[in-house]
Amino acid sequence: MANPVPDPTVPDSSDAALVAALRDDLGSADFTVDGVESLLGPLAAAALDREQPLPARRATRTVLDGGRASGTERQAALTALFLLGDDIAAATVETALPSVGLEGAVRLGLVERSGGGPEDAVRARVELRPYAATDAEGPVSWWLASDLRELQTGRRLRADHVLGAGGAAATLAQVTVRTPVDRVLDLGTGSGIQALHASRHASHVVGTDISRRALGFARFNALLDGVDPGVVELREGSMLEPVAGELFDLVVSNPPFVITPRAGRGSGAEAVPDYEYRDGGQAGDDVVRSLITGVGSVLAPGGVAQMLGNWEQRRGEDWTERVGAWLDESGLDGWVIQREALDPAEYAETWIRDGGSSRERDPAAWDAAYGAWLDDFAARDVESVGFGIVTLRRPSEGRTGGRLRRLEQHTGSIRQPLGAHMAASLAAHDWLAARDDAELAAAHLVVAGDVTEERYLTPGAQDPNIVIVRQGDGLGRGIHASSPLAALVGVCDGELGVGQIVGALAALFEVRADELAAELLPAVRNLVRDGFLAPLPADPRA
């Protein structure tokens, strides 16, 4: 990761030894997610997650003013400085960062001071936040530098604001397939969080972004979190341009997918600021459409692309029609899970607040932006905006069977990390695609360990009215099962083939075996696809 000309508005990553000393200081102060939550307590920590800093400020001041002798003064100073944006005495910062020191923190571009005296106030120039997550590869604990937010500054975000790891970034990291691969592309890397996750299971990671400032933060974060400099490469450029002609085994992207008013600049849309981290510069949902239809050009055979996105649902058109057409144009395997849908008013409110604006602070600006958003959606007859997870795959060379084309809505809770479940579902599709019904009937299946059965009976009845087979992992699906299907699932322990089980159940329920097979085999396919049942590894074609 070659260092370009230093940008004074981003942390300086030119001194690896000094950054390593910072990493040691943050660790020894227990400036971690768990450490900060323990310091603040559950009430203040939860309030801070809701962008309400007052309880956290009281907790840190109690420690720093000597009212709580807990040995957490360094932790409290770092929390107040980098998470709350409070002014901290120079001597306190010097103590909190014993290896780096105040002058080292200034040289790294993390803080600024007003003068030379020991009691001069020091304030953060960046947000430096502990980060913890569990992806399909396992748990991680890092630190991420990004631009200060409205919570710390009290001001609207700058147009080239570099975002830290928000909820969308964490979702993408957790749903990403983590199979060890050679090359990964992090498209729109931002502060580098997806590249950090990918560096744990890839030989080489390329992170791209149109924002030079974002690349500066990503470079610093990779160095701070101890990533091998030879693993992560950062390139400046728009969308797929910096990697044209190259192939990757995995592409991950949390792109600038927010649908922002563009048509009619000068007639209301100018009231909506552009933010590089969320606005892709295209009208409507064209950014997501262009990624879905174009990412196949950089996918190696068998390569997977996973991204987040928004898409419009227009009057008279279901979202599956619109996004399904994009999948068809891509020519790739496609699996889209819509997680939520907002009406135009909810959507506008969400993203106006995201930029640091509020109606209480500036009602005229709020109303102007709100109106521009509503007008933009009305011009295209948009009734709602969906948000979800897109998984694409270029078929492997020589693969048999049909394309994966799946679009579904799942707004309930899911069991994160989802990456292993996603990988297993892709593998299950290939396994099923290679088998006709006769071969499926010959397979020996086992029920997954997270599967349970729920039975609902009318009081006094001998047999249940409803049987639900439910999985506890993955998407937590529940299916209404007929008595024969529930019985089949219950005896799938690998001893008998599916056809043998169907034959025994036909005799038990006194029905014809071929008729029962016609009913159960499609259901068994769905259960294998969704992870309720799995083939024995001993199956020579598993």
* Residues 346 and 491 both lie in one domain: no
| 444-447, strands of its sheet edge to edge | 493-497, 444-447, 533-535
Angstrom distances, CA of residue 465 to CA of 57, 235, 458, 481, 483: 56, 60, 7, 11, 10
| 111-113, strands of its sheet edge to edge | 88-89, 121-124, 111-113
Q: Answer with the one of 115, 132, 149 that is the final residue of a domain.
A: 132
Number of C-alpha atoms within 13 angstroms, CB side, residue 71? 3
- Whether residue 278 is contained in a domain is answered as yes
- Whether residue 5 is contained in a domain is answered as no
Q: Answer with the one of 110, 132, 154 that is the final residue of a domain.
A: 132
Strand partners, 435: none
Residue 275 has a pLDDT of: 87
Residue 267 has a pLDDT of: 44
> What's the burial of 91, exposed, middle or buried (CB within 10 Å: 0-12/13-18/19+)?
middle
Per-residue pLDDT tens digits for 277-305: 888 888 889 999 999 999 999 999 999 99
* Residues 407 and 442 both lie in one domain: no
- Whether residue 140 is contained in a domain is answered as no
**pTM strictly above 0.85:** yes
Asked if 254 and 287 count as a contact pair (C-beta separation under 8 A), the reply is: no
Domain tally for the chain?
Answer: 3
Residue 268 has a pLDDT of: 57
Calpha distance 472→370 (Å, rounded): 41
**CATH no. for residue 312?**
3.40.50.150
Per-residue pLDDT tens digits for 7-29: 888 999 999 999 999 999 999 99
* Residues 410 and 529 both lie in one domain: no
The token pair at 84 is: 């709350």
Find all residues with CB under 8 Å of 355, minimum gap 6, and list them.
156, 157, 273, 275
* Residues 192 and 101 both lie in one domain: no
Residue 263 has a pLDDT of: 56
- Whether residue 43 is contained in a domain is answered as yes
**Ordered DSSP codes for 426-490:** HHHHHHHHT--HHHHHH-EEEE-TTEEEEEE--TT-SS-SEEEEEESSTT--EEE--HHHHHHHH
**CATH no. for residue 526?**
1.10.10
* Residues 348 and 483 both lie in one domain: no
Amino acid letter at 434?
Answer: A
* Residues 299 and 384 both lie in one domain: yes
Low-confidence ranges of the chain (pLDDT < 70): 1-6, 67-70, 115-119, 263-269, 538-542
- Whether residue 155 is contained in a domain is answered as no
Calpha distance 32→44 (Å, rounded): 16
448 alpha-carbon distance from chain centroid: 26
Q: Which domain covers residue 236, as residue numbers?
A: 165-418
The token pair at 321 is: 């029609």
Asked if 345 and 376 count as a contact pair (C-beta separation under 8 A), the reply is: no
Residue 173: name the closest of 205, 207, 132 by CA.
Answer: 132
> What's the burial of 464, exposed, middle or buried (CB within 10 Å: 0-12/13-18/19+)?
middle
- Whether residue 120 is contained in a domain is answered as yes
* Residues 325 and 393 both lie in one domain: yes
| Measured distance between the N- and C-terminal CA atoms of the chain, rounded to whole angstroms | 41
Calpha distance 256→118 (Å, rounded): 43
